[in-house]
Amino acid sequence: MTTDSTQPRDPGSRDASLRDPAEVLTRTPPPYGFRVEYGDEPSQFADVRLPADEGTQSPLAILLHGGYWRSRYDLSYLGHLAQALADDGIATCNLEYRRSGEPGGGFPGTFDDIRAGMMLALSLAARHSIDPARTVIVGHSAGGHLALWMGIRHAIRVPVVALAPVSNLYEAARLGLSNGAVTEFLDGTPESHPERYAFACPSQQSVASATQWVVHGTADEDVPVELATRHADLARETGQTVHLELLEGVGHYELIDPISSAWPAVRNAIRTALGLQDLESDPDLPGTVPGSGKR
């Protein structure tokens, strides 16, 4: 089992100003290429962006947005990350799914949608220049939880990059994160619905899992970094392969913003999961942070 050091590193600085990191949530994203549906419900669709060069088969990143599984948050904010990856030669499929607060959302509908959406994403290779053998699931926050869950539950072992994930549902429920979002999502506590937590929490699964890259900022005020370290410890105890990278001074939203100082670390994690060149090894490539080497 391969593991990385969990010592935080300074991701460097590329920010031109001291803007609010949460601004990425409201900044208008670039337009998507086309939209595809995987069901009849309004939230069962995905936005696809393809690299400009369709002459060669591209890797694929399946994206899962966060928002503590609630319907008032949607996939739009991940459009910035999706386009940045497409510009880097990686096709992206940004999945929407039913969430708490809308019909069919929560348990088990959200999980059903993630499964169906992933199958839709993988089917894109039949119609576009996409290499399904080079696929990664990328999730942020609650989407990071769903990405980790898919890495365990799906028959096809697709590597996972989880950005500030709500990775340990037991701990998140105990802490009452986001005004009880976990108990709202699973419609109960670990004591009232132990079977749901055992099914939904990726940290304590005894089954084999896809390789995981977990990236978390030490200054995250929305999802405590301790969830990531706890998840890594528990997952490794069950034989899962987890690469954990902690970014010093980084909060919750910098990880999904391509113009933030954290982006090179995120970009490299995704490229590494896809088996592509680590940009940090080539100082002439854009997005490289000189001297920031991975530990």
Q: Which two tokens stand for residue 85?
A: 């990856």
- Asked whether the beta carbons of 188 and 214 are under 8 A apart, the reply is no
Q: Please check the confidence at residue 275 and state whether its pLDDT lies above 60.
A: yes
Q: Please check the confidence at residue 3 and state whether its pLDDT lies above 50.
A: no
| pLDDT-based confidence at residue 238 (cuts at 50, 70, 90) | confident
pLDDT, greater one: 286 or 180 = 180
- Mean pLDDT, the chain, as a whole number? 88
pLDDT, greater one: 60 or 293 = 60
Domains of the chain: residue spans and CATH:
21-281 (3.40.50.1820)
Q: In what order do the strands lie in the sheet with 212-217?
A: 34-37, 45-49, 91-95, 58-64, 130-140, 160-163, 212-217, 242-247
pLDDT tens digits, 110-146: 999 999 999 999 999 999 999 999 999 999 999 999 9
State the Cα–Cα distance between residues 114 and 157, nearest whole angstrom: 15
pLDDT tens digits, 19-29: 799 999 999 99
Kindly state the average pLDDT of the residues 200-210: 81
What are the helix (H) ranges across 135-203? 142-153, 169-175, 177-185, 194-200
Quote the percentage of the chain above a pLDDT of 90.
Answer: 79
Q: What is the pLDDT of residue 14?
A: 45
pLDDT tens digits, 64-103: 999 999 999 999 999 999 999 999 999 999 999 999 999 9
pLDDT tens digits, 4-46: 445 565 444 444 445 799 999 999 999 999 999 999 999 999 9
Q: What is the pLDDT of residue 183?
A: 97
Report the Cα–Cα distance between both ends of the chain, in Å, rounded: 17
Q: Measuring CA to CA, which residue among 210, 189, 211 is closest to residue 200?
A: 189
Element (H, E) at 63: strand 58-64
Q: Please check the confidence at residue 292 and state whether its pLDDT lies above 70.
A: no
Q: Please check the confidence at residue 279 and state whether its pLDDT lies above 70.
A: no
Q: Measuring CA to CA, which residue among 274, 73, 276 is closest to residue 161?
A: 274
